Structure 1
Amino acid sequence: MNANFEYYKVFYYVSKYENLTKAATVLKTSQPAVTRTIHNLENILGCRLFIRSKSGMKLTPEGRIFYEYISAGCAQFFKAESNLSNLISLENGTIYISATETALHCYLFEAVRDFNILYPNVHFKILNNSTTDSVNALKEGKVDLAVVSASLQVSKPLKMKVVKKYRDILIAGSRFEDLKDKKISLGELSSYPWISLTSEAITRNFLDAYFDSNGLQFSPDVELATTDMILPAVRYNLGLGFIPREFARDDLESGKVFEVHVNEALPERNILLIHDIEYPQSIASKAFQKFLMDREAEKETNSI
C-alpha cells in the first residue's frame, strides 16, 4: 500500500466536515487537490469511501469502518504534534522518573528543585521504587529515567552515569552518649543494638558484606522496611544505625542524634542516572539530563 499519512489526514477532515471545501480550508490546500487525494486513496484501497450527495460527502459503509481507525490514529498524531510543540520550548513538558529512596533524598529532590527554577513549567512524575523496580520500569518504557543508589551492571540499550558519590555514616541517640567524640572500631560496637533494613534490601546486603569483610556478622535488633524509618528509630534510642548524612543533617545540627566515628569507614557508594538509549527522550528529559551533567561538571571544576 502506497498511502501515506497525508492521504489519511485528508480523508479524516473530509469525513469530519462532510465537505470538500471546508476540508481544503483546514488543510490549507485547494478543493481539486483534496478531491484528487480522495480518488487516489480509493484506488489504493480498492473501494469507494464517499458518496457525493446534495448535503455533502457521505461515508460509505466501508468508509465508516475505515474512519473508526483513521480518526483514532489521527487523534494520537495531533496530540503528539501539540505536545511536541510545547516541549520544544520546555513548556508543559513532563519527565517521568523512578528513583530509590536514598537517591531522592541525597540527590534528586535538590536537582529537581534547581531545574524547576530555570524551567518552572516542566513537570515531574516521580515514582519511589527499589533499584530493581526502577530499572524494570525503565526497561518497560514506563519512565524516562531511573535514578538509583546501588552498585549494578546494566547492558545495552541501558546506559548509566555516576552523578554523585556518597558515604553512609553511623548515628546514635542520647542513650549511647559514651560513644560521643570517640573513634571506635566496628568490633567494639558489635555488642550494641543495631538498626537496619530487612534482608531483602540491597543496602542491607551492602552492610552484611561490610561487616563480613571485617570478620563480623551483622545481626540487627531492629529491621525496618525503609531508610527514612532508621532516623526516628535511632532518635528513640532503639540502637545504632547507618544512614546517608543527608537523611540526618537536621537532627545532627540540632543535637537529637550524633555521628559515631568508626575506624573502618564504609566504602563510598554511587548514585546512578540510567536511561535507555533506544527509547525516544522528550526534549524536557534531554534538557534535564544535560542540566545534571553540567551541574556535576561544574562541581568537579570547583573542587579542583
Structure 2
Amino acid sequence: MELRQIKYFIEVAKREHVTEAANALHVAQSAVSRQIFNLEAELGVELFIREGRNVRLTPMGRIFLDHMEQAMNVINNALQVVEEYMEPERGTIHIGYTSSMASYLLPTAISAFRVQYPNVKFELNQGAYHELIDWVHRGNINLALLAPLPKETKGMEGSVLFHERIVALLPRNHSLATASSIKLNQLRTDAFIFFPEGFMLRDITLKACQQHGFQPDIAFEGADMDAVKGMVSAGLGVALVPEITLVDNIPRSAVKVPIVDPSIMRTVGVLVSEERKLLPTEKLFHTFLHHFFRRLEQYQK
C-alpha cells in the first residue's frame, strides 16, 4: 500500500466522483482509477460501489476511510513537526472553535499572540460542540476552544481558561430593559430565541429555565450568534447568551441585562488529545492562551 494510493482514495471518497478527484489532484482520471483498483486488489475488498461516473463507499470503505484519515493526519503532523522543529515561531496552528468564540474571544487572543509571534499562521475551523471533540479525537485539529469544557472525555485533556456569565439579551422596548438585573423566572412568559439541538448553550439555558420552574417558549432557533442577536434586536424574543459575545457588539435595538437568580455560568477551555503531542507552534499558543486569560482575569478583578 502506497501513500499515493491513500491520498487518491481519500480524495475520491470525499468527492464521490473519480473525475472530480482527479482534477483536484491534478492527475489523469485513469491514474486515479488504476491506483484505486490496485488498492482494492491488495486489500482484497471493494472500497467503492460504482454508479456510472459516481462512486460511494461500501461499509468496509467507510471503516477504511476513517482509519486512513487518521493515519494521514499523523503523517502530516510528523512532517509539520520536522518543519517547525528549527523555527516554531513560523509554524501553523490548527484550531477549532464554536460560534460563540468567533466574534471576540478567539480574534482577541490571536491578535495578542501575533504581537509576539507575527510569522505564525492559523488554520481556523468553526464547528459544533461534539463535532469539535470528534475532530480532536481524529487528529483533524489538535486544539479546540470549547464552552463548557467537557468534564471527562476518553483520550482527551481539557484545561479551563476562564469562567463566564450567561446574561439576558432583551429588545430595547422590553419591560425589563432598564432593570439593573433580573431573575430568570421574570422571563417565563417571554418568547425565547434558542440555539438548535446539539448546541451546548441550548442545554445550559434550557436546564436553567427548567430548574427555575418553567419551560421556555422557544419561538425561534438560530445556529449563528449574530442571527440570534439580530432576532432579539428585531423584537422577536429574548435570548440568553455568553457575556463575552456582547463585548463591543450589542445590537442597537437590544440591551444586556445581568441575571442574578440564578447566576448562570459556563467554563471556557481548550481541549487537546492525550494521545498526541502538540506541534511545536501549537504548544506555544496553548501556553500563551493560559497566560493571556490569567492576566485578563486578574486585570478585570
Instruction: Mark yes or no: TM-score above 0.5.
Output: yes
2:295 aligned residue: 298
CA displacement at 1:220 relative to structure 2? 1.3
1:62 aligned residue: none
CA displacement at 1:261 relative to structure 2? 4.2
Q: Distance in 2 between matches of 1:82 and 1:229?
A: 37
Cα 1:199–1:281, aligned 2, differ >3 Å: closer, same or farther?
closer
Q: Is 126-135 or 96-105 further displaced after alignment?
A: 96-105
Cα 1:292–1:251, aligned 2, differ >3 Å: closer, same or farther?
closer
Aligned partner (choices 245, 248, 259) of residue 247 of structure 1: 245
| Count of aligned residue pairs for this structure pair | 227
For 1:41-120, what aligned pairs fall within 5 Å after superposition? 84-120=82-118
CA displacement at 1:137 relative to structure 2? 0.4
For 1:111-150, what aligned pairs fall within 5 Å after superposition? 111-150=109-148
Secondary structure at the aligned position of 1:176 is classed as coil
1:268 aligned residue: 265
Aligned amino acid, residue 99 of structure 2: E
- Tell whether the 8 Å contact from 1:90 to 1:121 is kept in structure 2 after alignment: no
Aligned partner (choices 270, 283, 286) of residue 286 of structure 1: 283
Secondary structure at the aligned position of 2:90 is classed as coil
Q: Is 227-236 or 259-268 further displaced after alignment?
A: 259-268
- Tell whether the 8 Å contact from 2:195 to 2:221 is kept in structure 1 after alignment: yes
Q: Structure 1 residue 201 and structure 2 residue 207: aligned?
A: no
Unaligned runs of 5+ in 2: 1-74
Q: Distance in 2 between matches of 1:279 and 1:194?
A: 42
Q: Distance in 2 between matches of 1:213 and 1:110?
A: 34
Aligned partner (choices 184, 187, 190) of residue 185 of structure 2: 187
Cα 1:82–1:141, aligned 2, differ >3 Å: closer, same or farther?
closer
Q: Distance in 2 between matches of 1:130 and 1:267?
A: 21
Aligned amino acid, residue 210 of structure 2: D
2:234 aligned residue: 236
Q: Distance in 2 between matches of 1:263 and 1:290?
A: 33
Q: Distance in 2 between matches of 1:249 and 1:297?
A: 18
Aligned amino acid, residue 202 of structure 1: M
CA displacement at 1:120 relative to structure 2? 1.3
Aligned amino acid, residue 285 of structure 2: F
CA displacement at 1:187 relative to structure 2? 2.8
Q: Distance in 2 between matches of 1:80 and 1:159?
A: 21
Unaligned runs of 5+ in 1: 1-76
TM-score normalised per structure 1: 0.66
Q: Distance in 1 between matches of 2:206 and 2:180?
A: 24
Q: Distance in 2 between matches of 1:301 and 1:172?
A: 30
Q: Structure 1 residue 160 and structure 2 residue 178: aligned?
A: no
Q: Percent identity?
A: 19
TM-score normalised per structure 2: 0.67
Post-superposition CA distance 1:49-102 (Å, at most 9, x none) = xxxxxxxxxxxxxxxxxxxxxxxxxxxx9x967873445323531111111112
